[in-house]
Amino acid sequence: MNNNSISGVLEGVDYSSPLVKYRGEKVVRLLYALYGSDLVKIDPALAVDIYYTLYLPAPVPREDGPEVNKAMVSTLLTSPSGIKLRSKTILDGLMSGLASAILLGKIHEELSGVKNRQEDNQLTSSSTDRRIHEKIVEDTLREVSEVYQLRVLLEGSEPGSFSIESIEEYSLELIRLARQADIQLLLKSLSGISIPGYTRSTRKIRSRRGEKIGFEIGRDLERIATRELLVDEDLFLYRLLQGQLLLYSKYIEESSGPVYVLVDKSGSMEGEKIKWAKILILALLNKSLKEKREFYIRFFDSQPHGLRYLSKKPKMKDVTSLFEYIARMKNAGGTDISRALVTALRDLIEKRIQHASIVLVTDGIDRITERTLREALKKTSSRLITVMIKGDNESLKRISTIYLKAVELSQSEVIRVVKAID
């Protein structure tokens, strides 16, 4: 877009405004990033009209203006697919820009078969067939729904889960991820799962200098209740010797520790098992992002694979990279649970991480080195939460803080595991 005036079809939109032009330019830049130099020429006013039709709660089209703009705006405002599409974009600048670029891309794809017959290679009023526009909007809705679901999964329902250096870069990355076959299959599986809202997890730790939240009996003079100072001296000494003094219960709140997920990807974890495990991982990832907790993950088979990590407030590119890594992981190989657990605990010790929640997801039944692992868990003050997929492991049960069995591989079982992570 340049400084020349443009003319659109929406009432109340100042097409000469620098802000309006800037928003149209952002849509066009994203469009070129998606399709490159082969892009069919798009009227700048069309980008603006589509963006504001998707963004404004009640856009009003004018009687005059380019026919193709009026036809597309009318389709967005009146067709069932257009109404559903706008429900995901109204007053959301990011989703409006994303959807505008995707819709213009669909126009490009529709015209790519006939562009050789058009000398100026531009969308004109000859392409205003209502059926074509409805098909374009339907295809856009399908892709935007996948992008929307991916965004909610990565961000949660609250802003600020992770840092976004560039909205345009983030938009491009979301579209690129949502178009991958592995991601689409995973999103389809996730579509029926509704994880309850989270609040930032905290745990209470006893402290003499903490907040008073109740009473208890003991002999700690630093926490003695005021009323005990009013009793007879002999009675006071008797209660002190017997450990029967009334004391304040004092605690301080501390944010919950990191989540460390250890996932079996051996050959036996095929089909529904590995798919359910990935859904669980992504639910735990979403929880960690919302609660601003560090997130670690290792896949393992006969040996541990590389460690992946997200900070409390990670960068967008790190989150999307991890999401893609999880979605594309394939199952193969043997199983060595002891080696995987020893490696995970060594990670925690080397990084001096305390109070982690280690989530082990496996179907393995091999015995583990219980004494070594129990000592390492105690050293890091970590909890082991074992999730057995269609199986049972007595030695794991003995060292686990929480031991869960997933038999049906259902939505409720995913939620049950997520709730166990405090």
**Burial category of 26 from C-beta neighbours within 10 Å (exposed 0-12, middle 13-18, buried 19 and up):** buried
The DSSP call for residue 229 is: G
- The pLDDT of residue 243 is 87
Cβ-proximal residues to 338 (8 Å cutoff; 6+ apart), any chain: 366, 368, 369, 373
- The pLDDT of residue 1 is 45
Give the angle subtended at the CA of 99 by the CAs of 95 and 104, to the nearest 5°: 150
188-202, 273-287, 319-333: segment of lowest average pLDDT: 188-202
Cα atoms in the 13 Å half-sphere on the side-chain side of 153 = 32
The answer to pTM > 0.75 is no
pLDDT in tens, 64-78: 888 889 999 999 999
152/143 Cα distance (integer angstroms): 14
More confident residue, 127 or 226: 226
Query: What average pLDDT does range 346-367 have in this prediction?
Result: 91
- The pLDDT of residue 67 is 86
Q: H-helix or E-strand containing 263?
A: strand 259-264
Confidence of residue 305 (pLDDT cuts 50, 70, 90): very high
**Coil/strand/helix, residue 218:** strand
pLDDT in tens, 25-66: 999 989 888 887 667 677 888 999 999 999 999 999 998 888
382/304 Cα distance (integer angstroms): 19
- The pLDDT of residue 227 is 83
Sheet bearing 402-406, strands edge to edge = 308-310, 295-300, 259-264, 357-362, 383-389, 402-406
pLDDT in tens, 108-167: 888 765 555 444 444 444 445 788 899 999 999 999 998 988 888 777 655 555 556 666
- Could you give all domains of the chain from N- to C-terminal order, each with its CATH number? 18-179 (no CATH), 202-255 (no CATH), 259-420 (3.40.50.410)
Two structure tokens written together for 272? 């529904």
pLDDT at 366 over 90: no
Confidence of residue 194 (pLDDT cuts 50, 70, 90): low
Confidence of residue 5 (pLDDT cuts 50, 70, 90): low
pLDDT at 197 over 80: no
pLDDT at 303 over 70: yes
The residue behind tokens 């020893």 is 342
